[in-house]
Amino acid sequence: MPSTDLGLDTLPKLLIHNASAIGGRPAMRHKDLGIWQAWTWAQMLEEVRAFSIGLAERGLKRGDKFTIIGNNRPRLYWAMCAGQALGAVPVPVYADAVADEMAFVLAHAEVTLAVVQDQEQVDKIIAVSDRLPHLGQVIYDEPRGLKDYDHSRLIAFEDVQGLGRKKLASDPECLRLWQAGVAVGKGSDLSVILYTSGTTGRSKGVMLTYENTIVSARNANGFDRLDQNEEVIAYLPLAWVGDYIFSYVQSYVAGYCVNCPEAPDTVVQDRREIGTTYAFAPPRVYENILTLTTVRMADAGALKRKVFDFFIAVAARWGQKILDGEKVPLRARLLYGIGNLLVYGPLMNQFGLSRVRVAYTAGEAIGPEIFRFWRGIGLNLKQLYGQTEASVYVTAQPDGEIYSDTVGKASPDVEVKISDNGEVLYRSPGVFAGYYKDPDKTAEVLTPDGWVHTGDAGFFDPKSGQLKIIDRAKDVGRLSDGTVFAPKYIENKLKFYPNIREAVAVGASRDFVCAMINIDLTSVGSWAERNNVVYGSYQELAANPQVYDMIARHIDEVNRSLAEEEVMAGAQIRRFLILHKELDPDDGELTRTQKLRRGHIIDRYGPLVEAFYNGAATAEISTEVTFEDGHKGVIAARLAIRDMQAYPARTAKLERAA
Amino acid sequence: MRAPSSREAALGEALLAVEDVSLAFGGVQALTGVSFDIRKGEIRAIIGPNGAGKTSMLNVINGFYQPQSGRITFKGKERASMRPYAAAEGGIARTFQNLALFRGMTTLDNILAGRALKMRRGFFWQLIRYGPALREEVEHRQRVEEIIDFLEIAAIRKIPVGRLPYGLQKRVELGRALAMEPDLLLLDEPMAGMNLEEKEDMSRFILDVNQQYGTTIALIEHDMGVVMDLSDRVVVLDYGRKIADASPDDVKSDKNVIRAYLGEPHGVSV
């Protein structure tokens, strides 16, 4: 078991330590050609070392920046550590970034070498190579399709490893020198630059030291008692801080095994085969599984549907209490037991969640109903609140203190406070070293005494003592009559409905609130199939009057629920429309982590916003769209706007169970 | 998409030559005196209006139809007549216009079926799955998994193909043909009924098969954009006769071809 006081202050040092302390235990698995291939810690050290020495042979040196682009594959994780062993700094980039975005990050970070997954990424780099004067070599994992390419700057991953192995075999000094190089590294060194997807403007490079990430990881492992027996699946973007900490640093610190899926679309099957014990996912993943289940159940026979509905109701009533170890009547316990046999167990197994001890949701607020559903059927789902600038952890919910509308207590070693204007601030050992080449931005966020401004508005819930996040501080606005308008709060209520994929609420400094809706193609498409509604495209389905009726019913329910909340009653939705295209990161409407870029959307759909407030019944819009290869097209549409009824404010008499 | 000059040099001698082939069904003349060749390593397109005899031509090549006259030379050997089984053993694999998969079987089993000709152990040994038979099965499975990886269909490995969307079924069928490790791959309208994205994927797979495995490919296709992008040379049939045989660019501007497609010389729609 790695411990704190062995001078293990960098990731390469941890790797060398693990290889001798727990060398025979699995460190990584990857499903390839239908079979799980495994590497022990000792084998992984050998792979990383060979690649690292190969990189040195190809000229990578201390202080250089290199990029990693691709899906979650062992070789890309190894490449990070291999470069770090030389004192170079990895700068992972989102695999689905369009060429232009990629060019910005690579040029800004002055990346000299790239390790990429496949032809697709190589093509993107070639397309923007004239904007990357620093970039020398490109190393690829999968050779497919690259045979006819100019190989003067291209080299295969195994050839680099081959270089390293040859050097190791021929030069007896090589191993010692490499180890000496690792020993030079120290905790305060820059370990990684992670570009945040940035809900506003260009992304910023968050610099994290080894100490930042290792202390955070160690605290997180302690908090949830994670050890070398855990199994996790790595499927979130490599460039996201969550994956970096969770699939890399925490694994190195605790010694647990990280499993890489066969392909992005086999994650659910792969997770089921591995039986992960610790899971980490944005709310979207839990939402999608629930939507998928609901859709499939709608197609099931009447008996199955009845059984499902009955036991889901039982779970909603008793499941959470049983999970929290409260006292529950015997009858409820029996019913829940039967439900577990018939519904919950098989459902959890289907999605590979049977062995999960701790599951986190983070990144966005999760719909309370979705949260309750999962806890109800027995998944220990908890919330945490984190930021790239904090090496993830700011607050997290301890076992047994779970609420659907809070994000937990301050994580170990983290101090959290609320500023006078309601913004959340924190200070911790995980706090970043600054934005790369951007001292002005750093000064805006990081105070001299180490506090970080999160930009989120929140407060401590007096009942639970846990932090509650309302919205982005700058997004919380007021209507023209002074009513508080927290757009995300409303959007989250809308997004609970499986038929609604995304929602944008507008209303700051206006007379009332309006909403733009993205329907969920899986869910609404399945409804259309069952009701003989014919459609040829998203646009056509979105404009269907019956779909409008359906969404109007959902909004009506949301308005009723808003009317029950004193503060929010004035912010009911008066008008809405369904957008003609799905919001997409490629058009800058969502971030790579699928968060709304509100300002940009409101600019882009300006004519629609105007139509909301000038009373028009339809609105014309034409928008430019960007395809993944960078070429552009225009979509034009005429959208209908519906008026909705608002309900008088009334405070709910009974407080709902959390 | 590719550099034609360097391609030209890479193409080898003729793998298959068709000379003066005629085929008739009763009074209907399907093919009349058609001659062309397919060179090793090339992608050869066969195009033409409906009823031009394209599928008949493929059926002649893989021995399903016996031409009344003419010669076919495959790998330097002239053949008078051949059964489809013999053609398959000789290294010719094909996919079908209207799919011919085992709908109740999984993707994996369908592709494994393509290995049937390569199974050396008898029925009995395979049944008890022991010793050499087991080793052999492992070997075949390895090959099949490589194809699954190549075609990016890992997610549907264990799903019965009857439940898959059409575009994916087409991909599985290509997988089964690849499992035979053919020297010559015949594709009968590989993109029929596909949307743009599926067509792009399929085009990429066809190019990759050609590049990575060096497989010679003859394909029938209606989408002219696809034909122009993929093929090295195009042969054009009309009413069972060859009316052109040239590079995609030359075929596009050929007067006879334009007339066959449009009746009037206005240019081929691409």
Query: Across the interface, do A35 and B208 touch by the CB < 8 Å criterion?
Result: no
Res A130 pLDDT > 70? yes
| Whole-number pLDDT of residue B7 | 57
List the one residue out of A402, A364, A374, A357 whose CA is nearest residue A283.
A364
Domain end (from A274, A302, A328):
A274
With both helix axes pointing from N to C terminus, report the angle between A545-563 and A521-530 in degrees, rounded to the nearest 10: 120
Phi and psi at residue A642, in whole multiples of 5°?
-105, 145
Q: Say yes or no to pLDDT of B123 above 60.
A: yes
Residue A361 is part of a domain; what is its CATH number?
Answer: 3.40.50.12780
Q: Which domain holds residue A93?
A: 4-30+37-274
Task: Choose the closest CB to B157 out of A32, A34, A147.
Answer: A34
C-alpha distance from residue A623 to each of A312, A456, A543, A596, B91 (Å): 42, 30, 16, 17, 52
Cα B228 to Cα B247: distance, rounded to the nearest angstrom: 9
Question: Is residue B9 predicted with pLDDT exceeding 60?
Answer: no
Question: A107 and A185: one domain?
Answer: yes
Indicate if A401 and A509 belong to the same structural domain.
Answer: no
Question: Is A136 a residue whose pLDDT tops 70?
Answer: yes
Between CA A590 and CA A598 the distance in angstroms is 8
Contacts of B2 in chain A (CB under 8 A): 148
Instruction: Write out chain A residues lying below 8 Å of B149, CB-based.
Output: 32-33
**Final residue of a structural domain among A274, A297, A318:** A274
Beta-carbon count within 10 A of B181 CB = 16
Q: Do A285 and A321 form a contact (C-beta atoms < 8 A)? A: no
Residue whose structure tokens are 């006292």: A327
Identify whether residues A518 and A533 lie together within a single domain. Answer: yes
DSSP A276-342: -SEEEE-HHHHHHHHHHHHHHHHHS-HHHHHHHHHHHHHIIIIIHHHHTT----HHHHHHHHHHIII
Q: Is residue A348 part of a domain?
A: yes
Number of domains in chain A: 3
pLDDT, one tens digit per residue, over A576-626 is: 999 999 998 888 888 877 788 888 898 999 999 999 999 889 998 888 877
**Residue pairs between chains A and B whose CB atoms are closer than 8 Å:** 35
Q: Which residues on chain B are in Cβ contact (under 8 Å) with A147?
A: 211-212
What is the average per-residue pLDDT within A621-632? 77
Instruction: Decide which of A472, A503, A532 is a domain's last residue.
Output: A472
With contacts defined as CB-CB under 8 Å, which chain A residues touch B148?
33-34
* pLDDT for position B6: 46
CB contact under 8 A, B154 and A266: yes
3-state class (DSSP) for residue A645: coil
Which residue from B145, B211, B212 is facing A34, i.e. has the nearest CB? Answer: B145
User: Mind telling me how many Å the CA of A339 is from chain B's nearest CA?
Assistant: 28
* DSSP letter (8 states) at residue A587: G
> Chain B residue with minimal CA distance to A120?
B204
Domains of chain B as residue ranges with CATH: 1-91+183-270 (3.40.50.300), 102-181 (no CATH)
Q: Which residue of B has its CA nearest to A537?
A: B195
Q: Stretch A357-368: mean pLDDT, rounded?
A: 85
For residues A157 and A257, membership in a common domain is answered with: yes
Q: For A156-169, what is the mean pLDDT?
A: 97
Residue A658 lies in a domain: no
Q: Which long-range contacts (CB under 8 A, 24 or more apart) does B156-163 make?
A: B156/B107, B157/A34, B157/B106, B157/B107, B157/B108, B158/B106, B158/B107, B158/B108, B159/B106, B159/B107, B160/B103, B160/B104, B160/B105, B160/B106, B161/B101, B161/B102, B161/B103, B161/B105, B161/B106, B161/B107, B161/B110, B162/B103, B162/B104
Contact: B154, A262; criterion CB under 8 Å:
yes
Q: How far apart are CA A319 and CA A378, in angstroms?
A: 6
* Average confidence score pLDDT of chain A: 90
Facing residue for A33 by CB, picked from B3, B146, B155:
B146
The span from the CA of B232 to the CA of B217, in Å, is 10
A422 with A388, same domain? Answer: yes
- Does residue A574 surpass a pLDDT of 70? yes
Written as one string, the DSSP assignment of A296-314 is HHHHS-HHHHHHHHHHHHH
Sequence-distant (6+) residues with CB within 8 A of B51 are: B239
Residues A329 and A207 both lie in one domain: no
Q: What is the 3-state secondary structure (H, E, C) of A387-444?
A: EHHHCEEEEECCCCCCCCCCCEEECCCCEEEECCCCEEEEECCCCCCEECCCHHHHHH
CB contact under 8 A, A34 and B154: yes
Which of these ranges, A7-11, A93-97, A344-348, B124-128, has the smallest mean pLDDT? B124-128
Mean pLDDT of A121-125: 95
Give the pLDDT of residue A566. 66
Q: Using DSSP, state whether A348 is helix, strand or coil.
A: helix
How close, in Å, is residue B149 to chain A by CA atoms? 6
A652 belongs to a structural domain: no
Place A187 in a pLDDT band, splitting at 50, 70 and 90.
very high
pLDDT at B80: 65
CA distance B86 to A356: 54
Nearest-Cα distance to chain B for A593, in Å, is 23
Average pLDDT over residues B216-238: 91
**CATH number for A632:** 3.30.300.30
CA distances from B19 to A81, A191, B80, B241 (A): 61, 68, 12, 12
Do A169 and A212 lie in one domain? The reply is yes
CA of A146 vs chain B CAs: smallest distance (Å):
9
pLDDT in tens, A263-318: 998 998 999 999 999 998 888 888 888 888 888 888 889 999 999 999 999 998 89
Give the β-pairing of B184-188 and B92-95: parallel
Same domain, A208 and A286: no
- The whole-number average pLDDT for the span A628-647 is 85
Mean per-residue pLDDT, B52-59: 91
pLDDT in the model for residue A650: 65
Confidence label for A340 from pLDDT (cuts 50, 70 and 90): very high
The rounded distance, in Å, linking the Cα atoms of A489 and A510 is: 17
Residues A250, A353, single domain; the answer is no
Let me know whether A449 and A497 are in one domain.
no
**Distance (Å, rounded) from C-alpha A192 to C-alpha A65?**
9
pLDDT of A35 above 90: yes
Tokens standing for A574?
């008066």
**A5: pLDDT strictly greater than 70:** no
**Interface of chain B toward chain A, CB-CB under 8 angstroms:** 2-3, 6, 141-142, 145-146, 148-150, 152, 154-155, 157, 204, 207-208, 211-212
pLDDT at B255 over 50: yes
pLDDT in tens, A194-245: 998 665 567 899 999 999 999 999 999 999 999 999 999 999 999 999 999 9
Strand A358-361 to A381-387 pairing: parallel
Q: Which of A24-28, A97-101, A423-427, B10-14 has the lowest mean pLDDT?
A: B10-14
Of B3, B145, B212, the CB nearest to A33: B145
Q: Are residues A263 and B145, on separate chains, in Cβ contact within 8 Å? A: no
pLDDT at residue A368 in the model: 78
For CA atoms A68, A44, A180, A391, give the dihedral sign: positive
pLDDT for res A634: 84
How does residue A565 score in pLDDT terms, banded at 50, 70 and 90?
low
Contact A32 B152 (CB under 8 A): no
**Whether A375 contacts A202, CB under 8 Å:** no
Instruction: Point out which residues pair with B136 in neighbouring strands.
Output: none
Give how far B87 is from chain A: nearest CA, Å: 29
Whether residue A263 and residue B148 make contact (CB cut-off 8 A), yes or no, is: no
Q: Are residues A83 and A171 in the same domain?
A: yes
Q: What is the ipTM of this complex?
A: 0.79
